[in-house]
Structure 1
């Protein structure tokens, strides 16, 4: 049985930085004005002091340890100060992705039952109109101005609260200490691959993520990170690294203006970048057009969805020759799990294009990856006999200190996604992804378990098709931008069908010729034989944040309605 302590709080890293590097930059937030830029800054000492003062102020108005607080504040100095204040006070932040849609957001607030709602004016207008947190929210705090006051009835302004309590200025806050596994935050999944679920985060998980960024990614004190994702940006101050926040909508990275990001990198000589595939592609295209170089960047971390080889190669043209794009694999429930550098990834291209899946690298330190048989049933306890041998495709199961132990208020989801490992006194997490480990211990991802197609057509045709191995084969066709494997029912039989989005920049051959070319591709590979139905879709539905996760469930409904034998 592992020993648990009551001494956990990730803000200890901020306190340590404020003590040893008080004047070092912690946060800078860019404001773009025409062709000029302004920056607001906080040192580690200032961020520590401001979050101390906010923690005291929240307590003074009745917001105390154990309460749950929705935080809908755009990346700003206030976002950093408030988040660290909540952690210091033992108040549980509820972090949601605004891009998940109104319906999903409301469901998140129903499930999490927040006591406090902290948000910008736009969030409060939505809260009032849509009933977010109705019945549970007791405290409402506005960050920023510029909204009709009737929408903010009973709402405290954070500036007013600070002005009412000047006695807390420069007074050290006695940071709350929690047990290692005690709930410290609730992070909701994006809902891009299913219903959003609240993941219970502990300080132990946060500490494991901080250790991974130090040890496996080599991030050091004094570095500066271009912070394009709010959650990752919080790790900056915890690592002694400055978070440089560009002027962009973090919930819609595809809309970012590359000029703003390049300007922020150059202004602060950023050494690190965290970018998702959509932003990687957008910045790479802009850099290619202007021949821009990112000479200060030493490390690029990409996560959220697999980035394409072409996107990585295009982006890499801006980097120094010895700088790699590190592709991280994981999920909200467990991140990071494995990583692979771009040079190693490039060598896997041929295998991927022939249906071998996407290589996501080796497990990081302290993480155990296993592959088990595909089943929809819950598995109550772990047994090493569940593991498949190398090169067998199954569900990916992970164990490690950054792996979440449960979902919030969703016991059924916890039951089917977690496996109790009694020997290790922990839970293993079923990723919901399928893949395999090769003979060298490299993990190859083959798509979501829910996106496989279990066909009922007769042997010797394949009975089971996996999304990524099948789609990547067809994506080698020069006219195919991307494809999506779905199941349709034809004459009472479940059969695979490939939805295809064409590259609009290329002249398309006739439908008959394209069909024959795709059919020829299918017949060349054992695992795609039997795919003989193709539908052209004008524009795939994809998630807002990554612009890469295809909503195959929507395409499956469309394909079933559209297909005619």
Structure 2
């Protein structure tokens, strides 16, 4: 009896790595930068070695008792070990659970309670935190300690001793105990397109973190978008500042160059390290969130004039030029137009900064070039929202009425006409179908559409006549006043951008407060550093000017209350997502 091949089970992200290991075996796959004693050092690995190393780890993990379908927390800093381990997990069908360490101790513990991991793979610091805070103590049965060669962490015999103290093994000891035979190959697990391949937790910056179930189809759709919509080709080199995106490098036949930085706090990155890595490897692609775009722009163009839109040629420090870059991709939060304008001075002519819109649940969805984005600045500054561009191939975007109600089944009758603000709903292969063990959250965010699912983004916006998407802020951040018969709705981004045009305003945040038992809109203002240091700064004059701006625009004409806040609470990853809920409490206390 002949065995029938199950064509429905052919998916595995690592097929791309296996292909690169055959077609370009000696090409650079990953390079990791480390700063040690004032010197920048680099560790490198080619595609053939990365493929072989991940095979060996996958084999050893299976021998250790981790099998296809089991789940493991992966808390390993970006390194060659991180890449080899992640690809090994995918090859073995073991589901990695990826979390943002910056989400806080309480949220991290909740993530591990919900995801019920079978194993915990992490650096020593992660294991110490696991022991201290009881992460995964009811479900974790296997422990693995990972140390990066040359990182300064404990290594060798010390790593083995540490691992034995916590009741597990070190990665080095694992590979020694369960070695693959010479010439042996690991048969990667083949799964269905919709089978779970990973659990990625949202950052929790706009609510409780939720585990997003990633399928192989989602990863493949993201790889396809990077090839077709962003034009990434084999042989390119990516300066990778975000761990998840960096994994796509080897899958695209593109080298991932990892700078020495804390990926969870990009605003703390040393720009000189990043510039050095780009120069050394002649990187063609840079993925950077808005906070890093701001940091690099300030370092690279120190005397940029926002009014002139160029660098001051008389300045002592010249502008840094990143001539090898062919494109820059920015995602995670809306970048400010001045920061993009400044950063483009580092790039060669006609090299775009491509701003992408999306979320952990679905990314990328749209893109827009820096030139096109800057051309819309007059609309943004006058309360028209932020243009995030047109949909990438295979993505369908719709706008529906703002509602907190669960929508079970999709109907085209839900779609609002062009230029009408509502909730953004998306459909495509890169759109997730569910949250892990969060049935209520899944019901609130997902709409069944035949044999697929549409996702409610929780963001508000509108589509114009040309099909361009304009962002107007989070649904939870809108402010509503009045009664049902006469209700006024204020949207965060359109309102805030009007006030942000004032030279003394660094950023603003729309919140609702109660005055005389009525809900009213109020703008919290964070001043620029120049305004803070100005001995002659006049808050009364500022508020008068802001009221004038408010009256000049329909969107803000009813806003007349302002408060200055010293330093906005923001998420540590993007330094852009403002915790408006905290500001609302602060503002109410100030008024009471």
The aligned counterpart of 1:120 is 123
Instruction: Specify the SS of the correspondent of 1:124.
Output: helix
After TM superposition, the score normalised by the length of structure 1 is 0.97
Contact 2:239–2:283 (8 Å) recurs in 1: yes
Contact 1:230–1:250 (8 Å) recurs in 2: yes
Alignment of 1:393 with 2:409, yes or no, is no
Instruction: Specify the SS of the correspondent of 2:173.
Output: helix
- How far residue 153 of structure 1 moved from its aligned partner, in angstroms, is 2.2
Q: How does 1:477-516 map to 2 (within 5 A)?
A: 477-506=502-531, 507=534, 509-516=537-544
The aligned counterpart of 1:76 is 79
Contact 2:99–2:200 (8 Å) recurs in 1: yes
Q: Which whole-Å CA distance do the structure 2 matches of 1:490 and 1:456 have between them?
A: 13
Alignment of 1:455 with 2:468, yes or no, is no
Instruction: Specify the SS of the correspondent of 2:172.
Output: helix
- How far residue 33 of structure 1 moved from its aligned partner, in angstroms, is 2.4
Q: How does 1:416-431 map to 2 (within 5 A)?
A: 416-422=444-450, 425-431=451-457
- How far residue 562 of structure 1 moved from its aligned partner, in angstroms, is 1.1
The aligned counterpart of 1:467 is 492
Q: Which whole-Å CA distance do the structure 1 matches of 2:93 and 2:69 have between them?
A: 6
The aligned counterpart of 2:565 is 537
State which of 49, 55, 60 in structure 1 corresponds to 2:58.
55
Runs of 4+ in 1 over 6 A off after TM superposition: 457-460
Which deviations, in whole Å up to 9, do the C-alpha atoms of 1:94-126 show, x marking residues without a partner? 000001111110000000000000000000000
- How far residue 225 of structure 1 moved from its aligned partner, in angstroms, is 0.2
Q: Which whole-Å CA distance do the structure 1 matches of 2:421 and 2:180 have between them?
A: 61
- How far residue 491 of structure 1 moved from its aligned partner, in angstroms, is 1.8
The aligned counterpart of 1:558 is 586
The aligned counterpart of 2:211 is 198
Alignment of 1:45 with 2:71, yes or no, is no
Alignment of 1:188 with 2:213, yes or no, is no
Alignment of 1:263 with 2:263, yes or no, is no
Q: Which whole-Å CA distance do the structure 1 matches of 2:193 and 2:273 have between them?
A: 39
The aligned counterpart of 1:103 is 106
Q: How does 1:225-264 map to 2 (within 5 A)?
A: 225-264=238-277
Contact 1:124–1:152 (8 Å) recurs in 2: no
Contact 1:479–1:503 (8 Å) recurs in 2: yes
The aligned counterpart of 2:288 is 275
The aligned counterpart of 2:35 is 32
Contact 2:399–2:425 (8 Å) recurs in 1: yes
- Higher alpha-carbon deviation: 43-52 or 147-156: 147-156
Contact 1:94–1:186 (8 Å) recurs in 2: yes
Q: Which whole-Å CA distance do the structure 1 matches of 2:343 and 2:244 have between them?
A: 23
Contact 1:457–1:493 (8 Å) recurs in 2: no
Alignment of 1:434 with 2:481, yes or no, is no
Instruction: Specify the SS of the correspondent of 1:505.
Output: helix
Q: Which whole-Å CA distance do the structure 1 matches of 2:462 and 2:44 have between them?
A: 46
Q: Which whole-Å CA distance do the structure 1 matches of 2:278 and 2:132 have between them?
A: 39
- How far residue 170 of structure 1 moved from its aligned partner, in angstroms, is 4.6
Q: Which whole-Å CA distance do the structure 2 matches of 1:449 and 1:22 have between them?
A: 48
Contact 2:144–2:163 (8 Å) recurs in 1: no
Q: Which whole-Å CA distance do the structure 1 matches of 2:495 and 2:86 have between them?
A: 43
Q: Structure 1, unaligned stretches of length 5 or more?
A: none
Q: Which whole-Å CA distance do the structure 1 matches of 2:321 and 2:396 have between them?
A: 38
- How far residue 330 of structure 1 moved from its aligned partner, in angstroms, is 0.2
The aligned counterpart of 2:224 is 211
- How far residue 76 of structure 1 moved from its aligned partner, in angstroms, is 0.3
Distance 1:364 1:488, change over 3 A: same
State which of 169, 181, 193 in structure 2 corresponds to 1:156.
169
State which of 339, 342, 365 in structure 2 corresponds to 1:311.
339
The aligned counterpart of 1:6 is 9
Aligned pairs, number:
559
Contact 2:479–2:511 (8 Å) recurs in 1: yes
Q: Which whole-Å CA distance do the structure 2 matches of 1:90 and 1:238 have between them?
A: 17
- How far residue 150 of structure 1 moved from its aligned partner, in angstroms, is 8.5
Q: Which whole-Å CA distance do the structure 2 matches of 1:87 and 1:558 have between them?
A: 46
Q: Which whole-Å CA distance do the structure 2 matches of 1:235 and 1:458 have between them?
A: 48
Contact 2:67–2:94 (8 Å) recurs in 1: yes
Q: Which whole-Å CA distance do the structure 2 matches of 1:303 and 1:120 have between them?
A: 27
Q: Which whole-Å CA distance do the structure 1 matches of 2:8 and 2:18 have between them?
A: 19
- Higher alpha-carbon deviation: 448-457 or 140-149: 140-149
Q: Which whole-Å CA distance do the structure 2 matches of 1:504 and 1:488 have between them?
A: 27
Q: Which whole-Å CA distance do the structure 2 matches of 1:10 and 1:265 have between them?
A: 27
State which of 367, 377, 399 in structure 2 corresponds to 1:339.
367
Instruction: Specify the SS of the correspondent of 2:301.
Output: helix
- How far residue 247 of structure 1 moved from its aligned partner, in angstroms, is 0.6
Contact 2:60–2:179 (8 Å) recurs in 1: no
Which deviations, in whole Å up to 9, do the C-alpha atoms of 1:183-238 show, x marking residues without a partner? 11000000011110000000000000000000000000000000100000000000
The aligned counterpart of 2:306 is none
Contact 2:146–2:170 (8 Å) recurs in 1: yes
Q: Structure 2, unaligned stretches of length 5 or more?
A: 1-5, 148-152, 303-316
After TM superposition, the score normalised by the length of structure 2 is 0.93
Distance 1:307 1:349, change over 3 A: same
